[in-house]
Structure 1
Amino acid sequence: RKTTVKTHIITVQWFSDLPSRTIHTFNDLATCFVSQFSTNKAKKLEVADLFDIKQMKGETLKKYLVRFHGTMVQEFQKGLCVVQFNDSLALRRPASMEEARA
């Protein structure tokens, strides 16, 4: 990926504006850099986000339910503590919550 002069200027300015004595390791620098400049971060979904899933205009009820249940199954998987069970769900994705509970 090609970088521009403007990108370099912005990066150098950001680095110059870091408070002194805040970066002690390369990992500190990398963490600060990524949090400042990464733009394509996916938002981590939470169970409360299920309430924000709305049927889109023109979306059939069936497609809406498939999308809603897919998100619900993903959230269910993220909350599991038992690694072996979670791995089996990842290998063979359940079609519904009923199938996951079986």
Structure 2
Amino acid sequence: MDLYDETTDPKHHLSNFKSRIYLADASDVTRCKAFPTTLTKASMKWFDSLPPRSVTSFDDLSRKFLMRFSIQKDKVKHAPSLLGVKQEIKEPLRDYIEKFNKACLEIQDLPTEAMIMGLVNGLRGGPFSQSISKRHPASLSGVQERAEKYINMEENARLCEPSWRPGHSQSSKEKEREPKKKKKSDLKGPGDITLILL
């Protein structure tokens, strides 16, 4: 079990502790003595500051723990928070879908329509977003099937790019253009005419 370090929801920590300690069928006194072993040094300072004999039961200790660390409660997220999940400019579709799915897992009772709307809203312009806007999907499985096709197309296109290969940083077209740029920059000024053979 992870130690409580004041950065996570105290309810989750207490719930984890209770489920483990109840399996051992421990007495109330044992629970009170075992609980501090799940705290880090920082949160242990709080426990050590409790006045002697101020804890009457494990339920009492639990209430005091929750009262002290309740500010660390996880903030409840709702469907509108999905509007903040956007596909970055060079972010592959696969990475965006994974990021979006993680955001969806943080929202309880999320309606399917809100999930689809949030996903479509966060897409940057491209073939997949154009496809979705032409024929809006009715189900999540429909979105997933279509997304998978575009993910595969995107990944195949990336594999075909010459710059994708390790050690190959410039495409051949870029290398062809480079000498032309140098020759054009050799011009001295408006009165100086130089013939450049391309």
Settle same-fold status: TM greater than 0.5: no
Q: TM-score normalized by structure 1?
A: 0.38
Structure with more relative contact order (C-alpha pairs < 8 Å, separation 6 or more) = 1
TM-score of the superposed pair, with normalisation by structure 2: 0.25
